[in-house]
Amino acid sequence: MSQHIERVEQGVSLSDVSIQNPFWDDRLTNVLPGMLRHAEKQCRQTGRFQAIWAAGDPKRPLPEESHCFWTSDVAKWLEAVAYYLSKHEDATLRPAMDRVVADLVAAQEPDGYLNPYFTRCRPDERWTDLLGAHELYTAGHLMEAAVALHDSLGDDRLLGAMERLADHMDRRFGPRKDQVKGYPGHQEVELALVSLYRATGQRRYLKLAKYFVDERGRKRRGQGHYFVAESKRLGKSAAPLECAQAHVPVRKQTDAVGHAVRALYLYSGMAEVATETHDTELFAACRALWESITKRRMYVTGGVGSTARDERFTEDYDLPDESAYAETCAAIAMVFFARRMLEVDPRSEYADVMELALYNNVLAGMSLDGMRFFYQNRLASDPKRLELHPPKHGFGHDRQEWFGCACCPPNLARMLASLGNYAATRTEDGSLLRVNLYLGGSIRWQVSSGSAVVEMKTRYPWKGDVRLRVRVRQPSRFTLALRIPGWCRGATLRIDGRAIRMAPVMKDGYALLDRTWKGGETVRLTLPMDVQRIKAHPNVESAAGRVVIRRGPIVYCFEEADCGVPLDGICLAADHKPTARWEKDLLGGCVTVSVNARRAVAGDAAPLYAPGPIRQKSLAVRAKAVPYALWNNRSRGAMRVWMRSM
């Protein structure tokens, strides 16, 4: 990586990516619009929309219940709808979007402030509780929605309102004596301000994002930590500085701590600011935090955040399975962070984590029909045990239609709707296209001689065969960089049937095919998907003596529907002889994995305790595993990812 930090690559425009793949087709064509309509219905029924239009007209009644962060849920829905409508017309979603945008613009106050809750419910308390009131967080999501509307639909109605809001914030917050020296309690606005800067060219928005990043965790003379002073003024208990990543300045932070979603939104914003300001020290902090997460604090599913208490990171290797929190939004934020790191430091490790989180923790957050959602993503769950020992914090065994704090459902919708943004990155001059996710379909970008297209056919992630065809109008020299996933052993490449030696073309986890492309060439990438037994670091106590089954990017779990209970009565054999099988009628069509195991015999008279080895009677069985992302879509029952092994 160069010492000069810059955005060496950028995402291919969503409009230039078409996804066609049996895995994604139904999710994007049928499930996603259903999710968006479901979210629209929930926002309407719960009063989220009513709270916005009531703010624009004092004569209109408020909903019976209202929360300070409700508008952020609407903003994420708006962002997702904008992405979706850029690809598909929808007679229901477009008018709903138009009404909400008009109501938001009408709700803006003359000085540029825009937060419907505070405008109607607490007008005298604007910006008085930065730690807990989510005003800056909500503003950030509104900005991201505005940029999505601008970029995807050419609709600038909300963008103008967001410029006025950002200008209002720029007058209020900053280093001058007449400004408030505060910063967000729930981060998000940092990365949103960078997006607003890129959309408008107004550098003051980038400067404000940098201010929020730099000010976080500082002790000012006569004030100390801003959140400590604020909490004292409001009569609240001591501010949880570490939970808000405000315990020390961000450049001195080396371990991922505190609320996981807030942390990853912050780290994404830090990476964006570092990129735009060429700040090597800030990017080094991002890299240290990345390593803290991926080497010591991330679940095998790509989930992050070990405990429901404060929804936070805890300590190195503390990754319990039954009480895992692994919030859906945190996994989505992990995808955000990975992509931003990749654009500066193009190594496959970032795309590997992006893929891991996406295909496992993120997709586990939604049911197959997109109508029910997990907030928390345990790696082991038993409904009977949860009823006997209800958790003090967190959620139950099953997905829910909606939540009081409904951040996850619309976040999932915007993740799916913007999926094409994560498929590939390119250099500004088009001399390199880097394929990061094998989603199928086509990717278009500009090269020196005009436009180029890579068409991709694959059944990934079920099969590792990827066929690409290059289309150019005239011969063009550029590099096609294909990710070789970290889980893959023995990848092969052919161009027009001719084998390519892998070692000479490999760099940072990508195969770099640098040549003059004439058009019509066919590239065949084969990624063997062997079934693997994954073990954890010895310090991960909950995984001691256990293994995970993984095939390709997919992490598997064992469910009561296939294996009965107790799942801990199953012990996977050392010689597990796995077989992977496509089952078209199971869970929407998926590859299952069956392995040799032994099951303890029910009613065995083995003692509860004994001074020596306790031997149980057991029977040889074939135990079937299904993708973790698809669990809890059949009959209600237990599930486990980490299985006992011989």
Among all residues, which ones are annotated catalytic?
311, 407
> What is the number of other CB atoms lying within 10 angstroms of the CB of residue 68?
20
How are beta strands 432-435 and 476-483 bridged, if at all?
A: parallel
In angstroms, the Cα distances linking 474 to 237, 392, 453, 466, 520 are 67, 64, 12, 24, 11
Between CA 266 and CA 251 the distance in angstroms is 12
> For residues 192 and 142, what is the distance between their CA atoms, to the nearest angstrom?
9
Cα separations (Å) of 419 from 40, 436, 555? 20, 12, 20
CA distance between the termini of the chain: 43
Strands (E), 539-587: 546-551, 554-559, 570-572, 579-583
Concatenated DSSP letters of 413-464? HHHHHTGGGGSEEE-TTSSEEEE-S---EEEEEEETTEEEEEEEEE-TTT--
Judging by beta carbons within 10 Å of its beta carbon (0-12, 13-18, 19+), is residue 238 exposed, middle or buried?
A: exposed
* Cα–Cα–Cα angle for 396, 400, 401, rounded to 5 degrees: 165
For residue 156, give the 3-state DSSP assignment: coil
Tell me how far apart the alpha carbons of residues 162 and 199 are, in angstroms, rounded to a whole number.
Answer: 11
Enumerate the H helices of 173-325 as residue ranges: 189-200, 203-215, 226-234, 260-277, 280-296
Given a contact cutoff of 8 angstroms between Cβ atoms, the answer to whether 183 and 130 are in contact is: yes
AA identity, residue 646: M
Measure Cα distances from 115 to 127, 139, 298, 492, 531 in Å: 11, 8, 35, 54, 50
Tokens representing residue 625 in the block: 């595993």
SS3 376: coil
Angle, CA of 269, 306 and 273, to the nearest 5°:
5
DSSP string, 215-259: HTT-EETTTEEHHHHHHHHHTPSPP-TTTTT-SS-GGG--S--EE
Cβ-based burial of 520 (10 A; exposed 0-12, middle 13-18, buried ≥19): exposed
Partnered with residue 583 across adjacent β-strands are 590
- Three-class DSSP labels, 488-549: CCCCEEEECCEEECHHHHEECCEEEEEEEECCCCEEEEECCCCEEEECCCCCCHHHCCEEEE
Report the distance separating Cα 73 and Cα 523, nearest Å: 42
Determine if the peptide bond prior to 566 is cis (ω within 30°): yes
